[in-house]
Amino acid sequence: MSITRVEITPVAFRDPPLLNTVGVHEPFALRAILQVTTDAGVSGLGETYGDQAHLARLHRAADAVLGCDVFNINELRARVAAALAADTTQGGHGMSGMVTGSSTTDRVLSPFDVAALDIQGKLLGRPVSDLLGGAIRTAVDFSGYLFYKWANHPGAAPDSWGEALDPEGIVRQARTMVDTYGFRALKLKGGVFAPDQEVAAIRALRAEFPELPLRLDPNAAWSVETSVEVGTELAGILEYLEDPTPGIPGMAEVRQRVPMPLATNMCVVSFADVAPAVAAGSVDVILSDHHFWGGLRRSQGLASITDTFGLGLSMHSNSHLGISLAAMVHLAAATPNLDYACDTHWPWKEPGEDVIRPGALEIVDGSIAVPTLPGLGIELDEDALQSLHQQYLECGLRSRDDTGYMQSLHPEFEPASPRW
């Protein structure tokens, strides 16, 4: 079952002006869609970041994996690693400066791993979750991911979500999320306003949704002292506090002084980070993300590590389409120690704007039923792929740059970590 062809199609889909500590989302989010074909005529799908530098690496890896057996993921990884061995360039990873230390090989391997598992599943007539050890749940819980946001991108009409720049706006947004999707946990992307305003937003959410677990993630926007102040104020209110401050040592210090668990998708982003973070006692919960942890099998390796060290496991998300969501659902279904509802940016997408045919993945009562069809259980919509590719060609964006976009509108904006 060897790989005979890899097609890589960059696509762009509309994205609202969501704010974060490094800037604001641009009008389009970029992704790359991989179609991997075998000599058996069966093909599989993968989805990853669409930044230009990443695309160049994907193409180098694509040439290197031709002829590789789709059942031999170890060889797949070795070939990707060899193809990128001489690559010492940094950046272009699609995460806007927030997750810089992840492994280049693992980021590039990820969509090939997912596509190979999709093919294996189709050949065997089994869903990907079976290939990962079997689904231990029939549906996967997701959290409602709240963002401060403008009403519209400059020059464009307001989107249906409206503005959210204060606690009332955030509560309104949360109400829409909960009423529409039934989410049973909420996460607020912070690091946008001064910490007291974000504390007020969390308190407002707690008053409106007394039963729902709440998380706050300022993406390392706070100093150790600010993190301790916020953590102390929000005692008993947060399920976990995510990346309050930069770095393994800073997180370790905060962890000693705040009552709630600390989570990260910033100071532990590759296997190389795990030992130092565990030794320093930096975190209680690691957010996995198959897009930078090397695909589904390596993410399960991470799950074993968190299990071994008694750490919690959650799941991180960036703006994504349906192939990524399907992969996340299969992984989460087959990971027994996934202790928390997963993040997803899915509700922020324009309904219907996707590369997969609708219907396979729906958020109902805050969770997504695990597909039971062979492979990922989704189908590529070729026309939609072409139209999102056309949108990519026309939108002019070639790399995610939240900071540059913000500075083009507010030249005085300076991202700093920590900012407060």
Ligand X SMILES: O=C([O-])[C@@H](O)[C@@H](O)[C@H](O)[C@@H](O)C(=O)[O-]
Name the residues annotated as catalytic: 189, 316
Judged by CB under 6 A, the stretch of 90-98, 252-260, 290-298, 355-363 that binds ligand X is 90-98
Asked if 270 interacts with ligand X (CB under 6 A), we say: no
Asked if 102 interacts with ligand X (CB under 6 A), we say: no
Report the residue number, 14 or 59, with the smaller CB distance to ligand X.
Answer: 14
Q: What is the 3-state secondary structure (H, E, C) of 347-401?
A: HHCCCCCCCECCCCCCEECCEEECCCCCECCCCECHHHHHHHHHHHHHHCCCCCC
Report the residue number, 191 or 231, with the smaller CB distance to ligand X.
Answer: 191
- Asked if residue 418 has a cis previous peptide bond (ω within 30° of 0), the answer is yes
Asked if 265 interacts with Mg ion (CB under 5 A), we say: yes
The Cα–Cα gap between 8 and 126 comes to 25
Pair 52, 392: CB distance under 8 Å: no
Asked if 96 interacts with ligand X (CB under 6 A), we say: yes
Pairing outcome for strands 139-141 and 144-147: unpaired
Q: The sheet that has 43-49: what strands, in order across it?
A: 3-14, 28-38, 43-49
Q: Which residues are within 8 A (CB) of 348 and not within 5 positions of it... i.e. 6 or more apart?
A: 15, 16, 18, 145, 147, 319
Shortest distance, CB of residue 319 to ligand X, whole angstroms?
6
Report the residue number, 57 or 189, with the smaller CB distance to ligand X.
Answer: 189
Shortest distance, CB of residue 20 to ligand X, whole angstroms?
4
Asked if 264 interacts with ligand X (CB under 6 A), we say: no
Shortest distance, CB of residue 280 to Mg ion, whole angstroms?
19
Asked if 318 interacts with ligand X (CB under 6 A), we say: yes
Asked if 316 interacts with ligand X (CB under 6 A), we say: yes
Residue 121, helix vs strand vs coil: helix
Asked if 18 interacts with ligand X (CB under 6 A), we say: yes
Identify what 104 binds: ligand X, Mg ion, none; CB under 5 to 8 Å per kind: none
**Binding to ligand X (CB under 6 A): which residues in 115-174?**
none
53, 55, 61, 95: which one contacts ligand X (CB under 6 A)?
95
Identify what 54 binds: Mg ion, ligand X, none; CB under 5 to 8 Å per kind: none
Asked if 288 interacts with Mg ion (CB under 5 A), we say: no
26, 106, 217, 229: which one contacts Mg ion (CB under 5 A)?
217
Pair 342, 355: CB distance under 8 Å: no
Provide the greatest CA pair distance for the chain. 60
79, 189, 290, 298: which one contacts ligand X (CB under 6 A)?
189
Residue 32, helix vs strand vs coil: strand
The Cα–Cα gap between 316 and 88 comes to 26
Asked if 217 interacts with ligand X (CB under 6 A), we say: yes
Q: Which residues are within 8 A (CB) of 133 and not within 5 positions of it... i.e. 6 or more apart?
A: 300, 334
Shortest distance, CB of residue 187 to Mg ion, whole angstroms?
8
Q: What stretch of H or E contains 204? A: helix 195-208
Asked if 317 interacts with Mg ion (CB under 5 A), we say: no
In sequence order, the β-bridge partners of residue 9 are 33
Report the residue number, 141 or 217, with the smaller CB distance to Mg ion.
Answer: 217
User: Which residues form the interface with Mg ion (CB under 5 A)?
Assistant: 217, 242, 265
User: Which residues form the interface with ligand X (CB under 6 A)?
Assistant: 18, 20, 95-96, 98, 189, 217, 219, 265, 316-319
